[in-house]
Every structure is written in structure tokens, then in C-alpha cells.
Structure 1
């Protein structure tokens, strides 16, 4: 997903620089893609929260019940949680950049954007 999002954003930026682009079609296409990316981000948020809860529960079980056999599981959760958080933040930040790209495309189609309304 990281590579796909990076390539997609690069494509959108190239389209924004091309004055021969059909921005109305690009706006429709980008809106559809944005919905997919929002869904992907939401699913990853749910999984991240559940994974973090499992990590916390496992650490609490080790601390409260002195279940030393769960230490490897807690360590595994911690090791896996860090890259997952990193990936989620990449999704979050990239989707926010895509919102700005949407505003730029919208301005090319309709002649105004959110910043113009202030």
C-alpha cells in the first residue's frame, strides 16, 4: 500500500502540473480513490487499536498475574506494533496530503477552493 499510495500521489501531482489534463474527470477519479484510501485508513485504525489493546492486555497479564510465559508474546506484540504504527501514520499523513490535492483539483475545475472563501 505504501508504494501504491506514493505512486498515486506522484501521478496526481503530475496531472496538476499538466494544463491539458481534464480536471473534471480527474476530480471524479480522485474522489473515488480518496474514498478507497479513507476506507483503507479506517480498517488499519481498527486493526491498530485492537493490536494495541492486545499488547496492553498481555503486558498487564505479565505484570498483574506474574505470567512469565507471556513475556515472549508481549515482546512480539511490541516488536510488531512499532512498524504498524509507522505504517498507519504514513497512511494518515498521505491521505491528508490527498485532501490538499483534491482542493487543488477542485480549484482548477470550479475556480475557487476553501482558502478563497476565507
Structure 2
């Protein structure tokens, strides 16, 4: 997903820079709105999964404090490591979606510029 998004951002930025027709800008905008919707959904799913793992690790940590089970330390450690990777990926998704919002604004500005040129 990370590589896909990086490639998409590069591609859409290049297409926008080379865009000279209003119809092309309209096509870019429509495609970009769809991608934003997909990434917002992806971001929400990853947020929910991350929160679920945070709750699970909290439950296991509390259980570890109450009981004297050494295996829970291993389990908690594994879940914390997994949680760190989920947080890292969610951070990437959040920043990328915000970057996509800025590109959306750039597309709207490009449309306005092309409309003004065609008047």
C-alpha cells in the first residue's frame, strides 16, 4: 500500500503539471476524488484495527500484572511490536490523505486557471 500511494501521488502530481485542457483537469479531479474516498476508508479501517490492538494489549498488560504468568510477557511484547507497526502505517496513511487533500486543492486551482484562460 505504501508503494502504491507513493506512485499514485507522483503520477497525479505529474499529470496535473502537464494538464493543459479543462476536460483533462476534470478527469483528474474525478479520479482523485475516488482515490481520496478509498484512502479515507483504508485509514478508518487501520485506525479501528490499531485501537483494537491497543485495547487488547491493555487487557493483557492488566492480566499480566494480576497473574504471575511469564508467557503473558512474551504475548504482550509481540502485540506491542505489532502495534508499533500498525501505528507507523496509520501515521503514513494519515499524512498521505492530508497530502491528497492538498493535491485536491491544487486540482481545483488548476481548473480555475484553465477556465480563466479559456474566457
TM-score, structure 1 as length reference: 0.88
Counterpart-to-counterpart distance in 1, 2:94 and 2:111 = 26
**Pairwise CA distance, 1:37:** 0.5
The structure, 1 or 2, with the larger RCO (C-alpha pairs under 8 Å, 6+ apart) is 2
Equivalent position of 1:94 in the other structure? 96
Contiguous gaps of at least 5 residues in structure 2 = 114-119
Equivalent position of 1:2 in the other structure? 2
Alignment partner of 1:20 is 2:20: yes
Contiguous gaps of at least 5 residues in structure 1 = 112-118
Provide runs of 4+ in structure 1 moved above 4 Å. Answer: none
- Give the alignment's Cα RMSD to 1 decimal: 1.3
Alignment partner of 1:60 is 2:62: yes
> Which structure's CA Rg is the greater one?
2
TM-score, structure 2 as length reference: 0.87
